[in-house]
Chains A and B, each alone.
Chain A
Amino acid sequence: TAGITQAPTSQILAAGRSMTLRCTQDMRHNAMYWYRQDLGLGLRLIHYSNTAGTTGKGEVPDGYSVSRANTDDFPLTLASAVPSQTSVYFCASKGGLNTDTQYFGPGTRLTVL
């Protein structure tokens, strides 16, 4: 079972360039999430989507955008990367109820120089 896949696994990006991190789930989960993980700060929510066609802002949304055209995919775009966006990015998904558990993808390590 694939679960959640993320691409790329890692990336080095020049500041000012744009990039899209991809996330795909095969569990038909309604809700999807993007988090960033930074040392000493745990995981912080960037954006989320309760269902296809809707998105919402999390704790740290600035500099990021998302779309949810269908149930399976939830790409995260950095329009103009800055070094402070160097982080490990995790995508997660869960069913439609808050009683459900979020399951995470393997992560994307992004370095912005």
Chain B
Amino acid sequence: AQKVTQAQTEISVVEKEDVTLDCVYETRDTTYYLFWYKQPPSGELVFLIRRNSFDEQNEISGRYSWNFQKSTSSFNFTITASQVVDSAVYFCALSWGWYNQGGKLIFGQGTELSVKP
């Protein structure tokens, strides 16, 4: 069975601190896809990144970086020099399989990040 665990329910940091959000996944499929979404206080879900199981390269996008490690089944998300606008709930999600198998997403419970000025 597929599962995504975000063990950190809430994190509170002071602006300019670095913060890492953890994500651990479980799947028996060799082909799978990992995602991070951001949900700001306004409520919408914003796509941040997608990674497939064949691509273990880390990704950096501005202050955001992602560390994908198949050996530990983890896909962690780091925000460098956090800002108040980063305050949101962040979800890690997993999809698996090839075309026409639903492409369903399994979400973690979410991590609520609060960045204080």
A104 to B47, CA, bound (A): 8
A91 to B103, CA, bound (A): 14
Evaluate contact between B33 and A42: CB separation under 8 angstroms: no
- Interface on chain B toward A: helix, strand, loop, or mixed SS? loop
- Per-residue contact bits, chain A 99-112, to B (CB 8 Å; 1 contact, 0 not): 11111101100000
A99 to B52, CA, bound (A): 8
Evaluate contact between A98 and B47: CB separation under 8 angstroms: no
Which candidate, A18-26, A44-52, A64-72, A75-83, is the interface stretch facing chain B?
A44-52
Interface size class of B (residues with CB under 8 A): 20 to 34
Evaluate contact between A33 and B104: CB separation under 8 angstroms: yes
CB<8 Å pairs between A and B, sample of 29: A31-B102, A33-B104, A42-B91, A42-B107, A42-B109, A43-B45, A43-B93, A43-B105, A43-B107, A48-B102, A48-B104, A90-B45, A92-B45, A92-B105, A96-B99, A97-B99, A97-B103, A98-B95, A98-B97, A98-B101, A99-B52, A100-B103, A101-B35, A101-B47, A101-B50, A102-B47, A102-B105, A104-B45, A106-B44
Measured CB to CB, the residues of A under 8 A from B are: 31, 33, 35, 40-45, 48, 50, 56, 58, 88, 90, 92, 94, 96-104, 106-107
